[in-house]
Structures are given as structure tokens and as C-alpha cells.
Structure 1
Amino acid sequence: MQLFFCHFVARLFILCSDFHVLVQEQGVDQADLIAFLLELSFHTPGEAYSLDTLTDDQTTMIKDLADLGLVKLQKGRKESWFIPTKLATNLSVSLTDSSSRKQGFVVVETNFRMYAYSSSKLHCEILRLFARVEYQLPNLIVGAITKESLYNAFENGITAEQIVTFLQQNAHPRVAEKIPSVPENVTDQIRLWETDLNRVEMTPAHFYDEFPSRDVFEAASDFARMHNGLLWEDAKKMRMVVKAEIHMLMREHLRGQNK
């Protein structure tokens, strides 16, 4: 009962601590657990992420996290997803000790070098999500923000804006009063690298609709997916877009379905 009278962040910390003990009993690696929880905190609440992207240990963890209300699980016809809730975005705060929340610890230089004045392994794991950590001294973590480390973060669902906000909110006191607290060339480049990754690519394709039945549509969808040619589908309205390279195969398949 005492749990309900705790501050929200404290309640979340207690829940995560109990969860930590639970998954350790299941044989889940501690470092993997921390990294996954922190990665989850950077995800966008309400957005669906495929369960196929998770490892076996993460799949085990996600089911327990759903019981805690940190994610929602959704099953589709062929795929399943997890959807982070707003609670999940507070994980990085609740997992961090109270003293580190009182003041920042990160200094980012114009040459993309990063210095984190902390002895916390948790801080190190947070920084690894989007930066290359080179070495850790007793009270100092040294690393760099690189294109490769950021691409890895973007692929894991972390956005440029989330990274920039994290660096600004956790800026060390000696740079926190500066405007900006994180060099503009660094924040601009982080956003540019995300834009590069999200550039639109032109792919020759064909649009299919007016399927005679749902069975024919689903069979065509499976056929296109099997040949790695399905670009988009609207199951409700029975429409799809497939790569031009499998257009002839699709035509032959549909002819066979109509016989």
C-alpha cells in the first residue's frame, strides 16, 4: 500500500527494481536489461514497433513490461507490435539516482567529443545508445557522437530531437548556463544525419486494387511479401503497392487465382 503514496518517479523506480530482480531470475543479462529499458524510454509513446526487431530476451522482457503498463501489445494478422506508453518515457528518469537528476553531467564540444562527469554505469549505458563510448574512468566517461552511433540510435527508434533534448537537459553546470548549452553545429548535424537517413527514395512500383475477394487479396499480399516486393498495403480497402520488378510474377499469380 505504501507504494501508492510514493512520488510517481519513486513508484516507477520501485516497479523497475522489482522487474530487474524478476528478469535476473529468468537469466536475462543485466546489461541487456538496462540498455533495453533505456532504449525504450527514447521511443515515441503511442507509436507501434514490430516485435520482430527484438531479441529473445527482449521479447521475454516486453511481456513483463506490458504487465507493468509500460507498453501495450498488439497482434495483427501476420505481425505483432509493442506500443510504449507515456510511462515508458519516464524510465530514464526513474532509473537514474536522485543526485544525478539535481544537476547535469554531460559536456559536448564543437568537435563532437563528449565528456560525462559521472561514475554511474547507468549513465554510461544511456550514452552508448547514441554515442561511441571510448573509455570510462572512475568519475569520467569519454566518448564521441559519430554518424555511425547516431544511425544505430535512429534505427532503434530514437529521434534526433530526443537526443538533443537529453543533452540539453543533462548539460553539466559549467556549460548549462551557456546559450546554447550544446554547440549548435553538433545539434544541427545530429538533425541533418537523421534527415539523411529519412530521405525519400524513388522505387518503381505498381498499384493494385479492386480484388474480387479478400482471399484473393490476402493471397496476393502473401505472394508479394514472399518475393520481398510488398511496399505498402491497405488491408481494409484491399489495396497494395508492389515493386515493379515483381509485376509480371504478380500478374501470373493473379491470373492463376482467377481461374
Structure 2
Amino acid sequence: MPQVKIIAKNFMDMVASLPAIKLDKLYNNVFICEAILRSLPPLAKKYVLQMLYTDVPVPGTMMEEWVLADGVSKHRVAIDRLIQLRIFSEMVDRKNQTSYSLNPTFQNNLRKHIISGGVLPREPMNSDNAIKLPSLLELETYALRQWECFLLQLINPSQGEKLAGISPSMMRIFQRGLLSQRDKDGPRLTESGFQFLLMDTNAQLWYIIREYISNAEERDVDPADLISFLLELSFHVTGEAYNLNTLTEVQKNTLKDLADLGLVKLQQGRKDSWFIPTKLATNLSVSLTDSSVRKEGYVVMETNFRMYAYSTSKLQCEILRLFARIEYQLPNLIAAAITKESLYNAFDNGITSDQIITFLQQNSHPRCADRIPSIPENVTDQIRLWEADLKRIEMTQAHFYDEFPSKDVFEAACDFAREWRGLLWEDSKRMRLVVKSEIHNQMREFLHSQSK
């Protein structure tokens, strides 16, 4: 599924913004080095691996020879990313020649990891101790259920009491930027919030994790330590049990939050407690690359604006409710219709016609996805037309002036308004004028000076 960009700080930019001391501390973990390497653009990966066993700076002119003539722009992007992450150090000599060298901490730990592999600070518990472990299928079902409940609570706070979920304070952190509060109205999904729902699960996951990391200091947690633990968690084995006693208090508290998101499952035995990573957790380092895979669609759109969604998911029902009228719901089928009123509600919430059409196309049922177009043209055209209806008139705060003492004063006032880029309308015959309200005070002062 095509990546939908949301207005949010990129995770790698967050890593790059860490102070040099904390970044070196992060690079002391071999698993972090591997995760960062995975996240790099292909050409940047090539440069890192090619220079991994080079202990002297490499001239920039030599590196330019490593790429074809049409790869100059990609070369620049790769170099910029490596410098931002402080994996590369840039040096300029007396002859104004640029050369690059690898971060020694990153270089040494990546060498160790490639040669001998990394050893996690904790090993899976013995099967004798980890009793009643869920099967991989049960674990996946649990993770998806927790993630869906979290998203439902995120986009529909009115259901918060019905769902066993994360604490209200943490939920407010995650809702920041995705929901907006209007006067006398409940929270509404923003344009960014709808884009968030269009993302694949991996991209959604990293958006939430980025928000979680960015607010770490408010919880007296070092962001570098949190990033290190989260990426380290992604290298654990799905379905294996790991003893909670091997964790610090901060890490234990983090796992409680991650359990609400479905990244881990917590279990209690007679003597020990343990956590079991799910696929959501082990995919964290994969999500870091912002890669996405098209999900199998579930929506069938008809030319009469009726829509059938083959799904048992409450979350998908709530997403459809954002722009369609739900007519009835069967155990595995949601019947809905796109109406003028339902779309006006969506447009009022900041959702655009293009976003709705893209969502329908990306989630088309496999039998419809192969058709061209996958969504009937009369439906897409009408959605755009209904949005255009709302944009016919643009309201501008303005002030009206008339009864000018002379033609010269009127023309001078028009020229003054033009200079301030505030002239909206003029009637030279009747000497009437309309200007933007932003320049009203300046116009008053100008007219007062003209009357002297």
C-alpha cells in the first residue's frame, strides 16, 4: 500500500537530533547499529559497508566515482542522511577537499556484530518455567485485538470506557495532532488523523512510538535509553518468554504501556513474571525503514453509492463512519452508503475528497482492485463535486467606506489600500470602497491625515 505521509517528525530525524554524547551511547548497542543500518537509503548502506574496514578518511571525490552519473542526487541524499545521523564525519582540508570517515563507535560495534553477532542482555526462559505460553496464532490474535482496541480508543474517545486501554494521560499524548477540540464539540479527527488511519500498521506503529519517545522526558525517561530498549526489543524472538526480573523499573513500566498497544503480552506465574514479544514488537526495526506492503482490501463500492465492507472489525466500521452512513452491520459485513450529508461531515472535519478516494482505492476488495478503475468513476467524480460545492464562496473580514469628501481623497485611499494589499472592491463612480479588516486601522489613520 502506498505510503501516506503524515505531518510528524520522522523517527530518524528524532535520532539525529540527539546530542552527540547520547548518540554515541546509542551506538554502543550493536543491535541499535544494525537497526539504524537497516533504516538507511540503499546507497547509504553501501557506503557504510564499503567503508566499514577503512580506518582513514575517504575523499569525497573518490566516493562520487562509486556512483553512476545519474545517481548524483541519490548520492547527496545518502551523504546528508549519514551526516545527520553522525554516522559520517565531514572534514575539509586546506585545499578545500572534502573527505568522510565513519563514526568510530558505530564502526567498531557494527564490525563486532557482523563478525560475531550480538548477544541480547537476556535469554528466553526455559520451557519448564514459562508455562502455558500462547501459540503464535493466539499471540497474533491478541496483538491485533489490542492494537485495534487502542486505535478505536484513539479515534473515538467516547468508547474509552468500554475498552480496557491505556491511561488517559498517555492517550492524550498519542491523540496530540490526530484529534482537535472545538468549542462545545467533542474531539474530532483532524486531517492528519485521517492520514494516520490510511497508513499501514507498521507506519502507524512507528508514528505512535515516535510520539511516545518524544514525550519521554515528561515521564523522567531518557529518550536515548527508550530508543535503545525499543529497538533492542525488536530483536527478541516472537512467542518466546523473557523474565521481567532482567529489566530495570523504567523498562518494566515501558512494557506495561507496550502491552496496551499489543507489542508484548505480560504473564504471571507462581514464582516469576515474563513478557512475550508479538509480531508488532519484532517488526519495530522493519517499520523503521517505513516500508509498506499492500493489505488485502475489503470494500466493494457500487455505482449507486452503496458500499459493502467484508469485515468483522469495529475499527474498520468506525473508519467508514467518518465519511459514510452505516446502514446495518452483520457478523461479517458492513453495509453503508456515501451520501452528501456524510461527506459534508467528513469535509467539515478536514478530510479531503482525495483522501477518501485514495482510501477506497487502497482498500478495494481483491475482486474490485483488479478492475480499472477500482472505484466507479461516477462515485469519485461526485465526491469531488460535493467538495467543490463548499469552496464556491470564500469569506473575508472587511470594512466598507463611502461618502468620501472628494475624488482625489477616494483615489488616494484606493492607492493606499493597494499598497497594503488590502483592496477588495472599489466603485469609482459612487466613490465606495471595501478593504480587508487587517488594514482598517491604517486606513483610518490615513483618511484622518487626509482630512487635515
Give, in angstroms, the shift of residue 102 of structure 1.
Answer: 2.4
State the match for 2:374 in structure 1.
181
Amino acid at match of 1:138: P
Q: Using the alignment, how far apart are the partners of 1:205 and 1:127 within structure 2? A: 40
The answer to whether residue 348 in structure 2 is matched with residue 155 in structure 1 is yes
Unmatched runs of 5 consecutive residues or more in structure 2: 1-28, 40-142, 181-188, 206-261, 263-279, 281-292, 402-412, 417-434
Secondary structure in 1 matching 2:323: coil
Query: Using a 3 Å threshold, how does the CA distance of structure 1 residues 104 and 198 change in structure 2: closer, same or farther?
Result: same
Give, in angstroms, the shift of residue 134 of structure 1.
Answer: 0.6
State the match for 2:328 in structure 1.
135
Identity of aligned residues (%): 53
The answer to whether residue 136 in structure 2 is matched with residue 30 in structure 1 is no
State which structure, 1 or 2, has the greater radius of gyration over its C-alpha atoms.
Answer: 2
Unmatched runs of 5 consecutive residues or more in structure 1: 35-56, 74-81, 211-230, 242-250
Q: Say whether the 8 Å CA contact 1:112–1:144 is kept in structure 2.
A: yes
Q: Using the alignment, how far apart are the partners of 1:200 and 1:174 within structure 2? A: 41
Give, in angstroms, the shift of residue 200 of structure 1.
Answer: 1.7
Query: Using a 3 Å threshold, how does the CA distance of structure 1 residues 109 and 71 change in structure 2: closer, same or farther?
Result: closer
Query: Using a 3 Å threshold, how does the CA distance of structure 1 residues 177 and 155 change in structure 2: closer, same or farther?
Result: same
Q: Deviations over 1:230-257 (max 9, x none)?
A: x9665xxxx259xxxxxxxxx8xxx9xx
State the match for 2:360 in structure 1.
167
Secondary structure in 2 matching 1:102: coil
Secondary structure in 2 matching 1:194: helix
Give, in angstroms, the shift of residue 184 of structure 1.
Answer: 0.2
Give, in angstroms, the shift of residue 90 of structure 1.
Answer: 3.3
State the match for 1:53 in structure 2.
none
Query: Using a 3 Å threshold, how does the CA distance of structure 1 residues 156 and 204 change in structure 2: closer, same or farther?
Result: closer
Q: Say whether the 8 Å CA contact 2:399–2:437 is kept in structure 1.
A: no
Q: How does 1:1-259 map to 2 (within 5 A)?
A: 20=150, 28-30=157-159, 64-66=174-176, 89-92=195-198, 93-94=200-201, 102-200=295-393, 205-206=398-399, 234=438, 239=439
Of 194-203 and 153-162, deviating more is: 194-203
Secondary structure in 1 matching 2:308: strand
Q: Say whether the 8 Å CA contact 2:297–2:362 is kept in structure 1.
A: yes
Give, in angstroms, the shift of residue 144 of structure 1.
Answer: 0.3
Secondary structure in 2 matching 1:29: helix
Q: Deviations over 1:12-70 (max 9, x none)?
A: x99x95x949x89xxx5336999xxxxxxxxxxxxxxxxxxxxxx9x99655544xxx5
Equivalent pairs, count: 175
Query: Using a 3 Å threshold, how does the CA distance of structure 1 residues 64 and 165 change in structure 2: closer, same or farther?
Result: closer
Secondary structure in 1 matching 2:381: helix
Q: Using the alignment, how far apart are the partners of 1:176 and 1:114 within structure 2? A: 14
Q: CA RMSD in A?
A: 5.3
Give, in angstroms, the shift of residue 197 of structure 1.
Answer: 1.1
Q: What TM-score, normalized to structure 2?
A: 0.31
Amino acid at match of 1:142: A
Query: Using a 3 Å threshold, how does the CA distance of structure 1 residues 156 and 177 change in structure 2: closer, same or farther?
Result: same
